[in-house]
Amino acid sequence: MPEELAQLKEQRYKDPRPKERFDRYHERTRTRRPNFVYEIVRVVMSWMAWLLWRTRSYNPERVPAAGPVILAPNHASFLDHFFLGLALRRKVQFMAKSQLFKAPADKIFSPGGVFPVRRGYDDQDAFVTAVSVLDRGGVVAMYAEGGRSRTGELSDKPRRGIGRLALLSGAPVVPVAIHGSHRVRNWKRLQFPKIRVYYGEPIIYERLSATTRESEQAVAEEIFGEVRRLYAETKPGSATVSTWA
């Protein structure tokens, strides 16, 4: 297996709460945009990202300034969503595992534009919510990998959800490579790795009213193939990384 690919641990646990428990979060996201909570969290996390992790972003102008956009980054840290949106003026909304939607955290997540997905289920509600955000011209971030990589290596196979969202929405997909975030937990030892975020060229797929598992997986493979390529090209020490700096 290539060095940059890794088999991530399968996420097997399920949220035992019924889907109706999350209806109010979906309703809020579908009918309202993120409020001032998003801006407060953004300011606080931006200062932390710049000062502690010396975060730098490359080619954020590749993310369209208006209209629907799907951001498709690799995933190695619970802070990736903050690093991802740092250089963007647009508000980025996320799917987050439903287990996080408990008091008091849900009082921040939901007003801030985050919405739940029940992992381990065929969660139609999460995709309806994501498409509704995109249909009103918003930005949705979705990780193609099934879980976080703790080594900085990428998964060997993406989940088909990113392909499904791309086909159901027809929104441009921007691949993103995030380097260094797998070592963010080192802050406990007072070690703060440099974080680098690279944005790729948008990919556009024709919008479909219905999809198949095969078409979703095929598109997911194409999208994550671009993430892998971007990640390899921008990896510290690679021959091409200087062209991005």
pLDDT at position 5: 47
Q: How far apart are CA 204 and CA 206, in angstroms?
A: 7
- Which residues in the chain land under pLDDT 70? 1-12, 146-147, 149-152, 186-188, 238-245
Provide the β-strand partners of residue 71. Answer: 141, 174
pLDDT at 244: 57
> So what's the pLDDT on residue 188?
67
Output the pLDDT for position 3.
Answer: 43
If residue 24 lies in a helix (H) or strand (E), which one and from where to where?
Answer: helix 23-31
- Please name the residue that has the structure tokens 């001032």: 36
Cα–Cα distances in angstroms (integers) from residue 120 to residues 13, 97, 201, in the given order: 7, 10, 31
Q: What CATH class does 17-238 carry?
A: alpha beta
3-state secondary structure 200-245: CCCECCCCCCCCCHHHHHHHHHHHHHHHHHHHHHCCCCCCCHHHCC
Output phi, psi for 184, to 5 deg. -60, -35
Rg (C-alpha) for the chain, rounded Å, is 17
Phi, psi of 74 (to 5 degrees): -75, 170
What's the pLDDT at 153?
79
Of the chain, the end-to-end C-alpha distance in Å amounts to 29
Query: What are the boundaries of each domain within the chain?
Result: 17-238
* DSSP β-ladder status, 173-179 and 196-199: antiparallel
d(CA 172, CA 219): 13
Q: Tell me whether the omega of the peptide bond preceding residue 60 falls within 30 degrees of 0, making it cis.
A: no
Per DSSP, the residues of 53-64 read S--EEE-GGGS-
φ, ψ of residue 201 to 5 degrees: the values are -75, 140
Cβ of 216: how many Cβ atoms within 10 Å?
Answer: 21
